[in-house]
Amino acid sequence: MAKTTCTIKDFHSALRARDPLGLGFSDSTNPLLHLIWGLLAWDPKERLTATDALQHFYFMEVSTDDGKMTAALQHQTLDPRLDLNLKDEDLQEFTCPKCGRVFDNLHSCQVHAHGRKHAEFCEYDRSQLPKCLNAHSMLPSHPTSGYCDIQGRRKTIEDFHSVHLHDAHQFYGVFDGHNSNFASKYASAALYKRIVQPLSDVDDDIKEGTDWKKEVESEMSYAFKDLHEGYLEAMKNIPSVSMKEAGTTATALFVTKNAVIIASVGDSRAVLSLGSSFNSTKNDINALQLTVDHVAANPLERQRVESLGGFIADRGGSLRVSGSLVLTRSIGDAHLARYLSREPHVVSMTTDEVNEKCHQGQFESENNLDMPCFIILASDGLWDVFTNKEAVTLVTITVRNFGANWREEGAFQEAAERLTQEAFVRGSTDNIGVAVVALV
């Protein structure tokens, strides 16, 4: 699953994705970027020496309006809202995978494929589409999960993620920021640290027969509240007014040998596959949404906001808290915090309970065991253009195409990338971040 090549553009994308300040380079021709690239070359023969570095064109004189100066003295940081030369490539051909008929737009292809019952999804040249800013190729090889995010049509990346792969547990988090990316970056770095210790003994609690689900709910509630308060404290050191109004969703999945735990605030969603197998048909496949969309259009959420003295108003065709924020629960959003909640929706299941739900009571069937249950975590950049069932269906088809070799060949990484790119092709205007996790 490792990348077979690493170009200056790959390096540029990786740096942008990991920059903790949200700053970066204007494009892949930036002198400082090339200097760093040369200093970090893997092959010692290609790596710049100290002498080479001092003679690099980054230190050469350049002409400016104020005379001459070296590029090293020029201001290198950019407003993170700048568009870093990402192009919205318009695909010209969409093909029905059964009959091979070619269409010049996705809608026509889908109408044909669905109407003739040829296929659920059309095919197109994915090489033209944006590549993942982050993927499991940057992590230790993990055959039963995958992650991909793209900036999409936004001028900045506000979606962030957190992935921790350990023998005893795995953690996946998706964080969709708004009003800058400060809150989503903070939450993606800090949430795991707040829950890993409290949840470290969950398998023991299950074996001992304690009321472990109630305990998990309490621990998650405290962790999300502490995350919010930690962010507000960190925010005091940020001079930017806009960053002080930043907030984020937080959807986390914690998996152990015996437990599957999901906690979420906001509208980043987690769904569980139902009925997926190597022999399932379209009618067999479905999805169970594990999270609640905490948005102002939800009547219960609206009632809670109004009980706290807030109001809901329509703006731009969407109901919003105080006429500005679609979310009713989030981390951050200090200016609206008195009307919002940090209380997460928590779902805790044993792995046996998950399998029974996922395989619809038939988890002893050999056919169903061929394909594991899986959970899709994603920001609303996916769910704006996908139904839950469509997302599960696309993952099922992708994994099925790998056959018996799905473990060895990165089927779930491929599924995450396909979901992300399909959402982009369907016209999603948001950042898109997708994790697909097999529960085995």
Between residues 361 and 254, the one the model is more confident about: 254
* Greatest CA separation for the chain: 77
Report pLDDT for 298. 94
Q: Is 403 helix (H, G, I), strand (E, B) or coil?
A: helix
pLDDT of residue 20: 54
**Whether residue 381 has pLDDT greater than 90:** yes
CA distance 421 to 287: 20
Q: Where are the beta strands (DSSP E) in 83-212?
A: 94-95, 102-103, 134-135, 145-150, 159-165, 169-178
- Whose tokens are 């987690």? That residue is 270
Check pLDDT > 70 for residue 23. Answer: no
- Of the chain, the percentage scoring pLDDT greater than 90 comes to 56
Please tell me the predicted confidence (pLDDT) of residue 77: 39
Residue (of 406, 389, 384, 165) closest to 271 by Cα position: 389
**C-alpha pair distances (Å), 200 with each of 84, 194, 350, 389:** 41, 11, 15, 33
Return all residues near 183 (Cβ < 8 A) that are at least 6 apart: 175, 177, 231, 246, 247, 248, 330, 331, 332, 333
For the stretch 84-97, pLDDT in tens is 333 445 688 999 99
Q: For residue 23, give Cα distances in angstroms to 83, 144, 430.
A: 12, 33, 20
Q: Give yes or no for residue 363 having a pLDDT over 50.
A: no
Question: How high is the mean pLDDT of the chain?
Answer: 84
- How far apart are the C-alpha atoms of 434 and 253, rounded to whole Å? 13
Ranges of CATH 3.60.40.10 domains, the chain: 130-292+345-439
Q: Which CATH architecture has domain 130-292+345-439?
A: 4-Layer Sandwich (3.60)
pTM equals: 0.79
Kindly tell me if the per-residue pLDDT of 18 is higher than 80.
Answer: no
CA dist list (Å): 8 to 138, 147, 173: 16, 22, 28
Reported as a pLDDT band with limits 50, 70 and 90, residue 3 is low
Instruction: Look up residue 360 and give its two tokens.
Output: 């619809």
Which structure tokens are listed for 255?
């998996």
Q: Is the pLDDT of residue 291 over 60?
A: yes
What confidence category does residue 66 fall into, taking pLDDT thresholds of 50, 70 and 90? very low
CB 94 within 8 A of CB 105: yes
| Cα distances (Å, whole numbers) of residue 347 to 217, 259, 271, 287 | 8, 11, 11, 15
pLDDT tens per residue across span 140-184: 557 889 999 998 888 888 999 999 988 899 999 999 999 888 899
> What are the distances in angstroms from CA 141 to CA 6, 18, 168?
17, 19, 16
Task: Assess contact for 388 and 413: CB atoms under 8 A.
Answer: no
